[in-house]
Structure 1
C-alpha cells in the first residue's frame, strides 16, 4: 500500500500541475485573442470614418484625386488583411495615406473651419487614441502569454500542448512610431 502511495502521489501532483498550466495558458491565449478583437473593432471604426472624411475633403479639394484614391486603396487593403502581420502593414499604409489627406486639408482654411470636418477629425483622433491603447493592451497580453510558454516549465510543455508564440502588433515603419497628427 505504501508503494502505491509513493507512485500515486507524485503522479497526481504532476497531473494537477499540468492541468493548471494548461488551463492558465488557455486563459492567457483567450485574453490575447480578445485583445486582438478589440484592436480590430477600433481599426474597423477608423475604416468606417475614412469615407466620410474623404468625402468632406473632396468637397473642398476636388483636384486632389490621387490622394483620395490612395486613401481609398489603403483602406480596402486594411479591411482585407487576414493575419496580424498583414494587418500591421496595411494599417501602416493607411496611416501614411491619412497623413497625405490631412496635408491636403491643411491647404484649405474653409475646410478646417467646417463643423463636419472638425467632428470627423475629433472622431478620428479619439479612435487613434483607442487604437493605441488597444495595441498596448494586446502587446501586454501577448507578452504575458509568450513569457508563460517560453519560461520553465512552459517551454517544455507548451510545444507538446500546441501553444505557439504570438506575434506582437508593432509599428513597422519608423514614421508609424510617431502619433498620427490630426491638428487643424
Structure 2
C-alpha cells in the first residue's frame, strides 16, 4: 500500500480538524464570556431590586410622619416606578439601553437623597428605629450596587477584548456576538459636589 498516495488526504483532514477546533474555541470562549456578562448583569439587577424593595419600606415608614412633605414622597415613588420600567436585554446590552437604565436609576438616587435630606427636619423620624435600620440597609445596598456595577464592567472587558481582537473579530460577527456596553458614570458626575450650609 502506497502511503504517499494518502498523504494529501491526511494533511487536508488534519487542517480541517485544526481549523474546526480553532473556530470552535473562539465561539465557545465567546459564549462563556457572554454568559459571565449576563450573570453579572443579573447581580446588578438584584442589587437595584433590593434598593427598590427598601425604598418601598422607607416610604411607608416616612408616611407615618403625618406632616411630612407629600411631594417628596411622590417624587421618590415616581422615580422608583420609572426605574423599574426600564429593561435591558442582557444578551444585547447597548450603550443606549445602559444610558437609559443609568438615567432612571440616577433619578431614584436623586429623589432618595432629597428624601433623606428632608428627614433631617423631623426629629421623630430620625429617632425611629425602623427608619434608622432602613437607612443603614439602604447605605449597604448602595455599596452592593457599586460592587455589582464594577464586577459587571470587569466581566464585559474580557468579552469585548475576545470578540474584538483579530482574528476572533472575523468570526465573532458571523456567530452573532456583538460588543457589550460598559457602565458609565452619570453625566455631570465628574463635577465636584457643591455643599451649602
* TM-score in same-fold range (> 0.5): yes
Are residue 110 (structure 1) and residue 124 (structure 2) matched? yes
Corresponding residue for residue 90 of structure 1: 104
What CA distance in whole angstroms lies between the structure 2 residues aligned with 1:5 and 1:36? 46
Match of 1:66 among 65, 71, 75: 71
Corresponding residue for residue 3 of structure 1: 8
Unaligned runs of 5+ in 1: 179-184
Match of 1:36 among 41, 48, 53: 41
What CA distance in whole angstroms lies between the structure 1 residues aligned with 2:191 and 2:144? 16
Are residue 78 (structure 1) and residue 92 (structure 2) matched? no
The more displaced of 20-29 and 82-91 is: 82-91
- What is the TM-score when the length of structure 1 is the normalising length? 0.90
The more displaced of 79-88 and 115-124 is: 79-88
What CA distance in whole angstroms lies between the structure 1 residues aligned with 2:119 and 2:185? 25
Corresponding residue for residue 181 of structure 1: none
- What is the TM-score when the length of structure 2 is the normalising length? 0.84
The count of corresponding residues between Structure 1 and Structure 2 is: 178
Listed as ranges, the matches of 1:146-161 within 5 Å are 146-161=160-175
8 A Cα contact 1:35 1:137, kept in partner = yes
Deviation at 1:177, TM superposition (A): 9.0
Unaligned runs of 5+ in 2: 1-5, 89-96, 193-197
Which of 1 and 2 has greater Rg? 2
Question: Structure 1 residue runs of 4+, over 6 Å off?
Answer: none
